[in-house]
Structure 1
Amino acid sequence: MPKTVKQPENFEAGFAELEALIAQLESGNLALEASLASWQRGQELLQYCEGKLADAERQLKVLEGDRLQTLKVDGDQA
């Protein structure tokens, strides 16, 4: 029976978890098994975050008539 992957609550939570995993891996203080599990979870989080960003980009294209526009914010000189 395949293991169910716990999805983050949202993009920000997934990104924060990914950053924490990277810091743990970079510390070099994890045992081999823990490092492999962290790497695997990191790959899952990366896919999740990339998917959320791709969804947002597709939504922006729809909102802009299939053409991405530069977002103008108050104070921009354009």
Structure 2
Amino acid sequence: MPKSASAPKSFEAAISELEAIVHQMESGEMTLEDALDRYQRGAGLLKYCQDTLSAAEQRIQVLENGSLAPLPADAMRNEE
């Protein structure tokens, strides 16, 4: 599998690669075929990021419904 088609190592790596793709495409120095390849890679990275954020959101909801609860407003003032 070519490197450009591999899964990112982390959410942060995916964001970094997406930023690089945007800069490459904005430069206007790519061939149409290269631009299409980068667009396809970017779409895959975007889906990976969306899926990762969705999974994190679900984990947070589970934690909030379990043992975590919001602190009362007066508890926050007492810590200051």
TM-score for the superposition, normalised by structure 2: 0.75
2:28: which partner in 1?
28
The residue identity in structure 1 corresponding to 2:26 is: E
Higher RCO (C-alpha under 8 Å, 6+ residues apart): 2
2:61: which partner in 1?
61
Q: Which stretches of structure 1, 4 residues or more, deviate above 3 A after TM superposition?
A: none
Structure 1 residue 33, shift from structure 2 partner: 0.5
In structure 1, list runs of 5 or more residues that go unmatched: 71-75
2:9: which partner in 1?
9
Q: How many angstroms apart in 2 are the aligned matches of 1:27 and 1:61?
A: 41
Q: CA RMSD in A?
A: 2.3
Secondary structure of 1:9's counterpart equals: coil
Which protein is bigger by CA-based radius of gyration?
Answer: 2
Structure 1 residue 55, shift from structure 2 partner: 0.5
Count of residues paired in the alignment: 68
In structure 2, list runs of 5 or more residues that go unmatched: 71-75
The residue identity in structure 1 corresponding to 2:19 is: E
1:47: which partner in 2?
47
